[in-house]
Amino acid sequence: MQQVFRSRRRFLGLAAAALAAIGTATPLAAPAAESADAFPSRPIRFVVPFPSGSGTDTTARMFAKKIGELTGQGVVVENKPGGNGFIGVQTALNAPPDGYTVFIGSNSTLSTNAATFRKLPYDPLTDFAPITLLSRGPCVIIVPASSPYRTLTELLEDARKRPGALNYGSGSISYTLYSEWLNDLARIKTTAVPYKGAGDAINGVMAANVDFAVVDATGAIELVRGGKVRALAYTAPQRSPLLPDVPSIAEAGLPDFLAYNWVAAAVSAKTPPAVVKRLQDLFAQAGRAPDVREYYTRQSTKLILSSPAEMLQYQKDEIQRWKRLAEVAKIPLQ
């Protein structure tokens, strides 16, 4: 495993500058507060800590469009990838806490980081005020279209014969955790190749620069259908109707490897509670739109739309779950 962890140095290096910046940057002063009833009276910004085209980005753009229609105000999606999400976190937390900058994060930035970094420069439970969970969906394990592996069993058997010879692409610490968890469950040893985001990791698989990757199903479905990559397993108990030929993870022989990604909305904890409530109402209204519900059904992703309290409890539960998994997989704190 030490070889795997050494290979992560480049991945962690991407975060170093962002770590320092969060610790030294000064938040902008907030303008005079406006009433929640008048909110929003100007455009809103959604900060996404991942590249355009990622599952988090797709969700952000879907809700940005609907909330813009509901309010008559523009909602701009701003991608701030890199540094394991820290750059996006910095951008959101350093903005005025007035509700006009909304952080659209994922399990990486809102839970997993807290379970895997010894000294995280922000606290996802106290620095952010939760608005709502938005969506939750499984992953797929993919290999290049030219890969010799036709099944997950073939991949795992080869990995056991050649410890450390195979590598995987990882677009964030969550995907690294998933892959190391897979290593532990399957009793294999593979090496991490870090990427800036999930989309870049998928591109690495398409180019056959890595042997496999655990990725968000939403971003891979069309590529699997188009023959650009091959899916070996869907990380849910049952097959997806969108990928009927791809075995569930139980059929593939690893029933405990249930890997899910989730997306949620949050703002600075200093944001007035009435504005947080107004934002929650807007997200809930947007989520009730028929085309939004149809989109998530089509993507085989569950639309959640929780209360702030439910989201906070979910974050706490996820942090504890990932701490336990990191211990089981012997992943050291960064």
**Is the pLDDT confidence value at 6 over 60?**
no
Residue 64 to residue 44: CA distance in whole angstroms: 9
3-state SS, residue 34: coil
Residue 143 to residue 67: CA distance in whole angstroms: 37
Q: Using alpha carbons only, give the angle 32, 36, 39 rounded to the nearest 5 degrees.
A: 80
Please write the tens of the pLDDT for every residue from 114-150.
Answer: 988 888 999 999 999 999 999 999 999 999 999 999 9
Instruction: Tell me what pLDDT residue 298 has.
Output: 81
Residue 251 to residue 265: CA distance in whole angstroms: 34
Fold: same for 2-27+41-137+262-328 and 138-234:
yes
Chain position carrying tokens 């934002």: 279
Residue 266 to residue 154: CA distance in whole angstroms: 42
Please write the tens of the pLDDT for every residue from 78-99.
Answer: 999 988 889 999 999 999 999 9
Tell me, what amino acid is at 27? P
Determine phi and psi for 253, rounding to 5 degrees.
105, 5
Domain ranges of the chain: 2-27+41-137+262-328, 138-234
Instruction: Tell me what pLDDT residue 184 has.
Output: 92
Chain position carrying tokens 């073939």: 154
Q: What CATH number labels 2-27+41-137+262-328? A: 3.40.190.150
Residue 9 to residue 172: CA distance in whole angstroms: 13
Residue 24 to residue 134: CA distance in whole angstroms: 31
Other CB atoms closer than 10 Å to residue 35's CB: what's the count? Answer: 11
3-state SS, residue 281: helix
Structure tokens at 147: 């890969």
Report if pTM > 0.85. Answer: no
The CATH class of 138-234 is alpha beta
